[in-house]
Amino acid sequence: MLFFTQCFGAVLDLIHLRFQHYKAKRVFSAAGQLVCVVNPTHSLKYAPTRCAAVQASTEQGILPHCHHQEAVHDPQLVPCTCPLFSCPWEGHLEVVVSHLRQTHHISILQGAEIVFLATDMHLPAPTDWIIMHSCLGHQFLLVLRKQEKYEGHPQFFATMMLIGTPTQANNFTYRLELNRNQRRLKWEATPRSILECVDSVISDGDCLVLNTSLAQLFSDNGSLAIGIAITTSKVHSSEAEM
């Protein structure tokens, strides 16, 4: 009986995700810039009563948050790095993008400069807004997370990860920019490799961090627009020339 209840729960989850996929990620172009509307997803990793099948597989391991704490048998295999799910998938780095698109329905956008428009910022933590960004011959994963590091005080964390190795990641610089209400906040950094754990980047706070009041100042009607630009980092390209 419990088994059937769990199966039914898993099917409901799949229908819910499919629905979210369809209503999310509308893309339109405003003033020459590609604007991508990204709807929030409640992180299933932190909701153990749902997604029973996935939960069962992770309970056998030691990795509630980050797959990289687990010993990977084949060093060429990369575990699934989608920050939303404790997914048992493993594969080569080259097929991570297709796995994220097909299994986790994460959209991919082209363009050197895009605007990431996260909707429903008021939703309670933990919530994630995720998109892939294809640029300069590589794919990047942008993660915006609402999380309560200090109980009762949700904060927003935004970071960009390269779907590639740390050495490849060192060749790029990403910029996140918020601009509204006579305030501007810019964060520039080298993207981390997806082989590192997005959870640890966020818990270290080595990313764009916003408290709730700042997020409200930068939001318009519950949506937060983040301008994203990726460039090749000059230091490394000049080093390469030498």
Give me the residues paired with residue 37 across strands.
Answer: 117
Residue 91 identity (one-letter amino acid):
G
Interface region with a second copy, contact rule CB under 8 A, candidates 22-30, 115-123, 135-143, 204-212: 204-212
Query: What gap in Å lies between CA 56 and CA 146, rounded to an integer?
Result: 26
d(CA 96, CA 78): 8
Selection from 97, 116, 91 nearest residue 35 by Cα: 116
Q: Strands (DSSP E) along the chain, which ranges?
A: 27-30, 33-38, 41-42, 77-79, 90-92, 108-110, 113-118, 127-135, 138-150, 153-162, 172-180, 183-189, 192-193, 208-211, 219-220, 223-232
CA gap 121, 167 in Å, rounded: 34
CB of 51 to a second copy, least distance (A): 31
Interface pick for a second copy out of 206, 222, 232, 239 (rule CB under 8 A): 206
| Interaction between residue 183 and a second copy (CB under 8 A) | yes
Q: Report 144-173 residues binding a second copy (CB under 8 A).
A: 150, 153, 173
**Diameter over CA atoms, the chain:** 68
Nearer to a second copy, 50 or 175 (CB): 175
Chosen residue from 63, 108, 123, 189 binding a second copy by CB under 8 A? 189
- Give the x/- contact pattern for a second copy in 124-143, rule: CB under 8 A: --------------------
Listed ranges 36-44, 58-66, 96-104, 183-191: which one lies at the site for a second copy (CB under 8 A): 183-191
- Asked if 219 interacts with a second copy (CB under 8 A), we say no
Residue 205 sits in the site that holds a second copy (CB under 8 A): yes
Among 190, 196, 200, 231, interactor with a second copy by CB under 8 A: 190
Number of residues that bind a second copy (CB under 8 A): 22
Only segment of 40-48, 51-59, 73-81, 198-206 that touches a second copy (CB under 8 A) = 198-206
Q: Of 93, 108, 123, 217, which lies in the binding site for a second copy, with binding defined by CB under 8 A?
A: 217
Tokens of 216: 């409200």
Annotate 171-210 with b (16+ C-beta within 10 A) or e (fewer): bbbbbbbbeeeeeebebebbbbbbbbbbbebbeeeebbbb
C-alpha neighbours within 13 Å on the C-beta side of residue 188: 7
Query: Can you tell me which residue has the tokens 């769990």?
Result: 6
CB of 92 to a second copy, least distance (A): 28
From 47-55, 61-69, 110-118, 213-221, give the range in contact with a second copy by CB under 8 A. Answer: 213-221
Residue numbers of the site for a second copy (CB under 8 A)?
150, 153, 173, 182-190, 204-206, 209, 211, 213-214, 217, 233, 235
